[in-house]
Amino acid sequence: MLGRVNHVALAVPDLAAATAAYEKTLGARVSEPQALPEHGVTVVFVELPNTKIELLEPLGENSPIAAFLAKSPGGGMHHICYEVDDILAARDELKKGGARILGEGEPKTGAHGKPVLFLHPKDFFGTLIELEQV
Ligand SMILES: CC[C@H](C(=O)O)C(=O)SCCNC(=O)CCNC(=O)[C@H](O)C(C)(C)COP(=O)(O)OP(=O)(O)OC[C@H]1O[C@@H](n2cnc3c(N)ncnc32)[C@H](O)[C@@H]1OP(=O)(O)O
Ligand SMILES: [Co+2]
């Protein structure tokens, strides 16, 4: 079912500071900030040779990363995103196996303009999983 790791996401309390750390201290190429109100986050992508790091800052009052940052105020690893060829086929197979698909269970459009779904961290050893159809 799984293809490449598309990105590893870090929830951060201060996106500008995190972006500067990756760009200036670590010498990485970073994108412009992108506000995603539908997802309650603002994102910056750090471009690496083999994958991307997604820096996430809460946006709006109901951000899904607010509770996470309340528990880890300094930030931390939030999710890993795997590529899939067919997100609906993947969802249906996962549902059959008993995994919980978050939200309404229907894919939403993610930061790359592609369909994405999230799987509950309690079903995958404490790691929130995002699937992205490529
Ligand atoms: C799609 C745009 C962009 C992209 O890449 O294209 C993004 O990636 S946006 C990313 C932000 N969006 C989401 O995270 C959507 C999916 N997330 C959720 O639906 C919730 O955040 C959820 C269900 C993971 C947690 O929400 P809930 O309200 O249930 O929060 P709790 O704090 O009560 O958590 C319950 C339980 O789960 C543990 N938890 C929560 N988040 C994580 C996490 N990221 N990694 C590991 N574990 C997590 C939390 O600690 C609680 O555990 P407990 O033992 O009960 O204390
Ligand atoms: Co993501």
Instruction: Specify burial of residue 61 (Cβ count, 10 A radius: 0-12, 13-18, 19+).
Output: exposed
Q: Name the residue ranges covered by the structural domains of the chain.
A: 5-133
Whether residue 117 has its Cβ less than 6 Å from ligand 1: no
Per-residue tens of pLDDT for the chain, all 134 residues: 999 999 999 999 999 999 999 999 999 999 999 999 999 999 999 999 999 999 999 999 999 999 999 999 999 999 999 999 999 999 999 999 999 999 999 999 999 999 999 999 999 999 999 999 99
Q: Are strands 52-58 and 41-47 parallel, antiparallel or unpaired?
A: antiparallel
CATH superfamily, domain at 5-133: 2,3-Dihydroxybiphenyl 1,2-Dioxygenase, domain 1 (3.10.180.10)
Distance of CA 77 to the CA centre of its chain: 10
Whether residue 18 has its Cβ less than 6 Å from ligand 1: no
Distance (Å, whole) CA 95 – CA 78: 22
The residues whose Cβ lies within 5 A of ligand 2, an ion, are: 9, 54, 81, 130
* C-beta of residue 87 within 8 angstroms of C-beta of residue 117: yes
The minimum-distance atom of ligand 1 relative to the CA of 108 is 1
